Structure 1
Amino acid sequence: MEKQTASKVVLITGASSGIGKAIAEHLLSKNYKVFGTSRNPSKGTSLNFPLVTLDVTKKETIKSAVSEVISEAGKIDILINNAGVGITGPIEETPDEEIKKAFDTNYFGPLNVIKAVLPEMRKNNGGLIINITSIAGYMGLPYRGIYSASKGALELTTEAFRMELKDFNIQMTNVAPGDFATNIAAGRYHSPVLEESPYREPYGSTLNIMNQHVDEGGNPKIMAEYVHKIIKTKNPKVHYKVGDRMQKFSIVLKRILPDKLYESLLLKHYKL
């Protein structure tokens, strides 16, 4: 197995911190040839793997990064679309430009990275693409609706992509994490809690609950180990979920419960 994985080339977007960094370090320890990406590679000087400049919202950097990896390693066997951004706020009060930024990063960005690597994977008659989505993408969460929508869109697009790619020996799957202890809360866009806003109290309390969930989240290494298992799987499933038991069970409940009953459970969970 070690001989098999030694030649596998992996490109991971958003690998300078959090889940992306954990995945990169774990795969590196398993003898994969790892390339991470970051908008500012100079900040990752202490990493054990190279960082390539890539901003998923800028197509020219995507093209340049893919070309750089191909030039250096000769191929890309595995793409892990991990780069993403959080966004919270009442939908009514969230600026249009911030909504667009979230979709550019969480949806159009991964889509454009996929488009950039597919021709190379076809040349090599195979490849694997893993899209890191979110359990939040399976349901519309209060004050996180834009984030849910952007991740849910990537989940559905992956379903369609898998069928379109079946003739090229290129596999694609989603991995939806729950809450993990990363710096996503610090980097996400928060609509301000406005004193005069009709959403002031419920949004403020929900924001505190969301931040607490992230702070108490699991170790990103769990995600890294799970992604490695998927890579070693001969025929990956369409969807994977990684999180605590209740987070994963929430998806099952949404599937089996009447809509209004499920909605009432979410309202109770967020104390709304």
Structure 2
Amino acid sequence: MAKTVLITGASSGIGKSIGEFLHSKGYIVYGTSRKPKHKEHNGIRFVALDVTCAESIKAAVTEVLDAEGKIDYLINNAGMGITGPIEEIPDEEIQRVFNTNYFGAIRVIKAVLPSMRTQQEGFIINITSIAGYMGLPYRGIYSATKGALELTTEAFRMEIKQFNIRMTNVAPGDFATNIAAGRYHAPVKENSPYKKQYGATLALMDEHVDEGQDPLLMAKKVYRVMQKKNPTIHYKVGEWLQKFSIALKHILPDKWYERMLMKHYKL
């Protein structure tokens, strides 16, 4: 019997690639976006879901359960980017990105857990980010949202293991998606003391995304993780140097690692 997958943020980028690849592997795939343009596209059946609204989440999960009777896999992929000097990012923008990237994922998990507990089985995969393993200059708030989800997953998976529900993180590095276009950019202000550094770092970040890897690599990795009966806690997908930078953080003294990041970003 085909397994049912629910993927948040499936209309573009990594979520879209995961959904289309899983469909090709025989899964029943439901994808969400706030305002779906299609009922079905490339094998993904779309439902409306806004991760910042509990009622919207409940309605979407109910729709999938009514249609399929179960949700075997939840892939929490919906998210948004944010850049800027922390001092200059408006409080409401900080709250908005946490509401989407962190609290949104928690809300969706809470919505699917009762049905997974009833069926005594389920697998939840949180798409985080390699940026969540380190505080990156001018991406500190984004790093914080993804790091928070990484740590929460560590606790959550121990709590739900008794119900035979698995949970893990898959952290991508830079992939060629439209996240740069969709992220909130604090403006580079003419009179800002951060103008020179932030402007240069922003250009470098966009370059990394434009030159990023094919999202299909993420889709294939998520598929391989889904086959694991006893998944580990953290998976990373990206360029060798991006993954190695996480290992270096555990090896190098803090200030050495900080200098390495500053050199990379030419600060």
* TM-score, normalised relative to structure 1: 0.97
**Among residues 167, 172, 189, which one is paired with 2:167 in the alignment?**
172
What percent of counterpart residues are identical? Answer: 68
Equivalent position SS for 1:271 = coil
Change (3 A) 1:44 1:199: farther
- Amino acid aligned to 1:146: I
Say whether the 8 Å CA contact 1:162–1:172 is kept in structure 2: yes
- Amino acid aligned to 1:64: A
Shift of 1:131: 0.1
**Among residues 186, 211, 216, which one is paired with 1:216 in the alignment?**
211
Which residue pairs with 1:267 in the alignment? Answer: 262
Q: Aligned pair count?
A: 267
**Among residues 103, 106, 126, which one is paired with 2:101 in the alignment?**
106
Shift of 1:195: 0.2
- Amino acid aligned to 2:189: L
Residues 198-245 of structure 1: per-residue CA shift (max 9 Å, x gap): 000000000000000000000000000000000011111100000000
Shift of 1:50: 1.0
Equivalent position SS for 2:6 = strand
Residues 163-211 of structure 1: per-residue CA shift (max 9 Å, x gap): 1011100000000000000000000000000000000000000000000
- Amino acid aligned to 1:53: A
The whole-number CA distance in structure 2 between the counterparts of 1:112 and 1:180 is 26
Q: Which residues of structure 1 form unaligned runs of 5+?
A: 1-5
- Amino acid aligned to 2:82: I
The whole-number CA distance in structure 1 between the counterparts of 2:53 and 2:220 is 30
**Among residues 63, 66, 73, which one is paired with 1:78 in the alignment?**
73
The whole-number CA distance in structure 2 between the counterparts of 1:204 and 1:232 is 43
- Map 1:237-252 → 2, pairs under 5 A: 237-252=232-247
Which residue pairs with 1:57 in the alignment? Answer: 52
Equivalent position SS for 2:66 = helix
- Map 1:59-208 → 2, pairs under 5 A: 59-208=54-203
C-alpha RMSD over aligned residues: 0.9
Residues 90-148 of structure 1: per-residue CA shift (max 9 Å, x gap): 00000000000000000000000000000000011010000000000000000000000
The whole-number CA distance in structure 1 between the counterparts of 2:119 and 2:5 is 14
Shift of 1:48: 2.6
Say whether the 8 Å CA contact 1:16–1:44 is kept in structure 2: no
Say whether the 8 Å CA contact 2:38–2:46 is kept in structure 1: no
The whole-number CA distance in structure 1 between the counterparts of 2:49 and 2:42 is 16
Q: Which residues of structure 2 form unaligned runs of 5+?
A: none
- Amino acid aligned to 1:37: T
Which residue pairs with 1:15 in the alignment? Answer: 10
Say whether the 8 Å CA contact 1:19–1:220 is kept in structure 2: yes
* TM-score, normalised relative to structure 2: 0.99
Say whether the 8 Å CA contact 2:3–2:72 is kept in structure 1: yes
